[in-house]
Amino acid sequence: MSKIIAEGLVRLYTEQSQHVVVVKVFETKEDMHDHYSKLTGKIEERDVVAYTTGKDWGLQDGFGPANEILLVDGSIDLRLIVHECTHAANDIYLVDYVKPKDEATKHYARDQEPIAYLMGDLVVAILGLLKDLNVKVSMKNLNL
């Protein structure tokens, strides 16, 4: 039984529709992988510490109801959150704005890693640069 230590959801309202992104935090990597395998029928690399699942399955099976962002306690940082949010945002964008059968859509839905890594690295780098420049970044919308 995979152990989830925290779980919640956020709702996003786009011009097209409403989307739900579920976040589940697991106690261990093994717990997260068990959950992922049950959910998707896939077995992925065991050293991965996060997944975003959901909307991209729709290109094969009909669109799923929500994205799930799966995280492991103790392995969560800004770069990872931005990376996984990029996957969720891409999937939502595809559902809202792109025809699912299109070849480019299939490619983009399955090969989001380059853009997700770029977004994680870029956000962390820009925040680091702004800090070095003594530019204050408001945390107002983060509710931290």
- Kind plus residue range of the DSSP H or E element containing 126: helix 113-132
Beta carbon nearer to Zn ion, 43 or 135: 43
Q: Which stretch binds Zn ion (CB under 5 A): 13-21, 24-32, 92-100, 106-114?
A: 106-114
Beta carbon nearer to Zn ion, 111 or 113: 113
In three-state secondary structure terms, 25 is strand
The yes or no reply on residue 70 touching Zn ion (CB under 5 A) is: no
Q: Dihedral sign for Cα 37, 110, 65, 100, please.
A: negative
32, 70, 82, 116: which one binds Zn ion (CB under 5 A): 116
Beta carbon nearer to Zn ion, 70 or 116: 116
Q: What are phi and psi of 49, to 5 degrees?
A: -110, 10
Tokens describing residue 67 = 């994205």
Which residues are near Zn ion by CB under 5 A? 113, 116
